[in-house]
Structure 1
């Protein structure tokens, strides 16, 4: 099979697979929020608002303590767990963040690393990587290493660097200074992008 035919077939299969996956959950339109737990909810909201530039919307809670197993049944946490509050914030043209603070008799307090099961990070798109990194450093934020740019593969053209929230959560900056990643040349589908 010719290389062009192979690429076309691969693109068609990817498109069919993507469409089939979307069809599995009726009415699914995309992520509405990303939730995570922090040790100090107000300090986390302050960081996202005052340093990152997110907008705080509202607070919910408290929830618990309950006399039954409601927390375990509905949230898969210890029955005696409580949620003093959760805050909803929005960061630019992206999904919402739901920032929780919990108490629980069996609570683990160490942050997962990316290599741990349950490890995670949130990436923020920026227009100018050097300017954004300089700003974070001026704010006393720990930036891990220097920005790197993919020079090959489907993410060719994307520049990235990780940084740390004050409570130890790993975050990331990404930028596509030349306007596109190489996967866009062969794939008719597009990853979500806050620029579009």
Structure 2
């Protein structure tokens, strides 16, 4: 059972409560969990993806691995893919504050499934936080990136946030998001979503 923390000063009660909540969180879930280390995904052309992440987005390329293939069931057992699959190359990138990207290119044989949309099972997108969403949109448009509509102002708990989707050259879904003055939920809840502009909170 977590030990209750009392504060002699009402002004310091909130930090004490946050400390208690953090202690409680540490005691549940995967032992030793620290956070999201990387996000992995597959692209059709790794060189195209490299140019996009480094030259357009501004990520740093760290290192590459591969090729990777096996004559037995290793690929199925460890990566949950067809045993004949071949990883041509994979590359790791760091994009400022946030999880690293592990980007794969597989051989096209056996045949690959189409890229999922957001309403498909396994559909996903990656969101980048920016300080000025209008400036970021203008920059991407000047680089020939397809923007899906105009930035949208969120409502209810997310009020204060603006967001907009955009597509990579191979059609993968990304998002820009910005809330420089915070979100409405922060006024009523002591818990916080992780914020790349405030990584230590």
- TM-score bin, normalised by smaller chain: 0.7 to 0.9
Match of 1:32 in 2: 37
CA contact (8 A) 2:145 2:168 kept: yes
Match of 2:176 in 1: 173
Map residues 29-68 of structure 1 onto 2, 5 A cutoff: 29-64=34-69, 66-68=70-72
Runs of at least 5 residues in structure 2 that lack an aligned partner in the other structure: 1-16
CA contact (8 A) 2:165 2:176 kept: yes
Q: In the superposition, relative to structure 1, how do residues 21 and 111 fare at CA in structure 2: closer, same or farther (>3 Å)?
A: farther
Q: Secondary structure at the match of 2:196?
A: coil
What is the TM-score of this pair, normalised by structure 2?
0.84
Distance of 1:79 and 1:101 partners within structure 2: 16
Distance of 1:166 and 1:22 partners within structure 2: 43
Q: Which moved more, 1:108-117 or 1:34-43?
A: 108-117
Q: Which ranges of 4 or more aligned residues in structure 1 deviate by more than 4 Å? A: 18-22
Q: Secondary structure at the match of 1:195?
A: coil
Q: Secondary structure at the match of 2:84?
A: coil
Structural RMSD (CA) = 2.0
Q: In the superposition, relative to structure 1, how do residues 19 and 111 fare at CA in structure 2: closer, same or farther (>3 Å)?
A: farther
Q: How many residues align?
A: 180
Distance of 1:104 and 1:141 partners within structure 2: 26
CA contact (8 A) 2:84 2:110 kept: no
1:155 is aligned, of 158, 168, 174, to 158
Q: Secondary structure at the match of 2:135?
A: helix
CA contact (8 A) 2:36 2:99 kept: yes
How much has 1:107 moved relative to structure 2?
A: 3.3
By relative contact order (CA 8 Å, sep 6+), the higher-ranking structure is 1
For residues 167-195 of structure 1, the C-alpha deviation after alignment (integer angstroms, 9 at most, x for no partner) is 01010000013x21011111111101011
CA contact (8 A) 1:78 1:104 kept: no
